[in-house]
């Protein structure tokens, strides 16, 4: 009898333990957070689902999401990205995915966001690339969706790497995102380290022409503060102008500068050749033209900044301007390293096939 009571007591103890474990387990599950709060790059606190599976991208935020390794999460993007244009490598590399996404904005300089389309798609979060936080708050109010501000203004800007790592945290791709951010910081440092101690007297003068901003420009279209030249501490003759970005200059000004090296955007050579038809003698009189020192700078300003192209431009310009400082760099290999790290594929052939490639340029050809 005593033995039976002992067995009964043991059985009751086991049942109570199992019951307690079950209750504790249920309590833990009930207490698992359904949301969390993140802080975006503008300091805005945004409540998001604890696990984010889908997102929409506005203001070319899709580019940063690709860099962060989160393209599979994108269900909505702009109409420009849905086309998969080769001038936007991140969109071209993922053109099949973008073609299946919903259009949530028009994209481009006259961009309009489609609030109703966002509501219908109902993504877990919306990534918005812009500096207009008022517009972000307004969109969040209209749609009831968490709107996260990101910003990729330049490849050497902390906003870029902060945005990439933030996206990685939100989408659960931090390992990929952190590796890309680290690579970008490494390239920026490498470009600066190779050139920062070169004496100004030893630097050739450079004119970047046919630069695109708000559309294409011809030979006299240049850019103050041109990022690929800034990154390698080059002497950009346009920096002497009273301007802050894109500007048209006179042919007389270019003749007065008479640059040692000229870089032109191969995508705008039709406009350059129109200028050559009207001012061929003047262009031919430039030393850089006579000495065959005219080279490509692939356009990177196409629906915001294509960072991988801008970084590749910097390495190409460095190899031309400072051949000794970049003697150990195989440009083609470096460019493909940049493209594979940031968009997941080789890209030089795509550029060449579309008439955007690197190399010497002959004006008027």
Is the model's pLDDT at 90 over the cut of 50? yes
Q: Which pLDDT score is estimated for 288?
A: 98
Q: Which pLDDT score is estimated for 225?
A: 94
pLDDT-wise least confident of 12-21, 168-177, 187-196 = 12-21
The enclosing domain of 333 has a CATH number of: 3.40.50.1980
Q: Which pLDDT score is estimated for 2?
A: 40
**Chain-centre distance of CA 343, in angstroms?**
10
Domain shared by 217 and 140, yes or no: no
Domain shared by 203 and 137, yes or no: no
Domain shared by 342 and 259, yes or no: yes
The answer to whether the CB of 203 falls within 8 A of the CB of 321 is: yes
Q: Which pLDDT score is estimated for 252?
A: 97
Going by pLDDT thresholds of 50, 70 and 90, the confidence category of residue 277 is: very high
Domain count, the chain: 2
Q: Is 180 inside any structural domain?
A: no
Domain shared by 209 and 337, yes or no: yes
**Domain span at residue 144?**
35-173
Write the pLDDT tens digit of every residue in 95-131: 999 999 999 988 766 667 788 999 999 999 999 999 9
- Tokens 């950009």 sit at which residue? 236
Q: Which pLDDT score is estimated for 41?
A: 97
Enter the DSSP assignment of 204.
P
Domain shared by 156 and 282, yes or no: no
Q: Is 29 inside any structural domain?
A: no
The residue count for the chain: 365
Ranges assigned E (strand) in 137-213? 147-150, 205-209
Q: Is 360 inside any structural domain?
A: no
Domain shared by 208 and 315, yes or no: yes
What is the percentage of the chain residues whose pLDDT exceeds 90? 83
Angstrom distance (rounded) from CA 329 to CA 48: 44
Q: Is 23 inside any structural domain?
A: no
Domain shared by 156 and 43, yes or no: yes
Write the pLDDT tens digit of every residue in 158-179: 999 999 999 999 999 999 999 9
Q: Is 43 inside any structural domain?
A: yes
Is the model's pLDDT at 23 over the cut of 50? no
Write the pLDDT tens digit of every residue in 328-340: 999 999 999 999 9
Domain shared by 164 and 211, yes or no: no
Q: Is 305 inside any structural domain?
A: yes
Q: Is 28 inside any structural domain?
A: no
Strand partners, 205: 235
Domain shared by 39 and 150, yes or no: yes
Domain shared by 346 and 209, yes or no: yes
Q: Is 10 inside any structural domain?
A: no
């Amino acid at each position: 009898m005593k033995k039976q009571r002992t067995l009964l007591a043991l059985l009751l103890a086991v049942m109570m333990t199992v019951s307690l474990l079950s209750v504790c387990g249920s309590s833990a599950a009930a207490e698992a957070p359904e949301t969390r709060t993140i802080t975006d790059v503008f300091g805005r606190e945004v409540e998001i689902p604890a696990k984010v599976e889908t997102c929409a991208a506005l203001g070319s935020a899709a580019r940063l999401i690709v860099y962060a390794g989160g393209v599979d999460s994108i269900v909505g993007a702009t109409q420009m990205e849905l086309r998969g244009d080769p001038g936007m490598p991140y969109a071209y590399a993922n053109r099949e995915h973008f073609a299946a996404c919903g259009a949530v904005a028009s994209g481009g300089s006259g961009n309009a966001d489609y609030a109703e389309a966002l509501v219908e798609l109902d993504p877990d979060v919306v990534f918005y690339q812009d500096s207009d936080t008022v517009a972000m708050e307004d969109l969040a109010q209209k749609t009831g969706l968490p709107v996260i501000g990101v910003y990729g203004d330049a490849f050497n800007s902390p906003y870029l790497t902060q945005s990439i790592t933030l996206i990685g945290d939100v989408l659960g791709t931090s390992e990929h995102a952190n590796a890309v951010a680290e690579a970008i910081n490494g390239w920026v440092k490498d470009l600066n380290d190779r050139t920062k101690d070169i004496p100004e007297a030893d630097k050739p003068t450079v004119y970047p022409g046919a630069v695109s901003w708000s559309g294409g420009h011809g030979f006299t279209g240049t850019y103050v503060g041109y990022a690929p030249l800034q990154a390698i501490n080059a002497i950009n003759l346009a920096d002497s102008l009273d301007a802050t970005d894109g500007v048209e200059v006179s042919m007389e000004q270019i003749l007065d500068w008479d640059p040692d090296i000229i870089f032109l955007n191969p995508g705008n050579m039709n406009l350059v050749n129109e200028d050559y038809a009207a001012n061929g003698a003047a262009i031919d009189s430039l030393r850089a033209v006579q000495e065959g020192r005219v080279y490509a700078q692939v356009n990177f300003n196409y629906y915001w900044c294509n960072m991988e192209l801008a970084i590749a431009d910097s390495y190409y310009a460095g190899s031309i301007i400072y051949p000794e400082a970049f003697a150990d760099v195989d440009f083609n290999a470096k460019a493909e390293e940049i493209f594979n790290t940031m968009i997941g594929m080789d890209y030089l052939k795509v550029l060449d096939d579309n008439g955007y490639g690197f190399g010497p340029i002959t004006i008027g050809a």
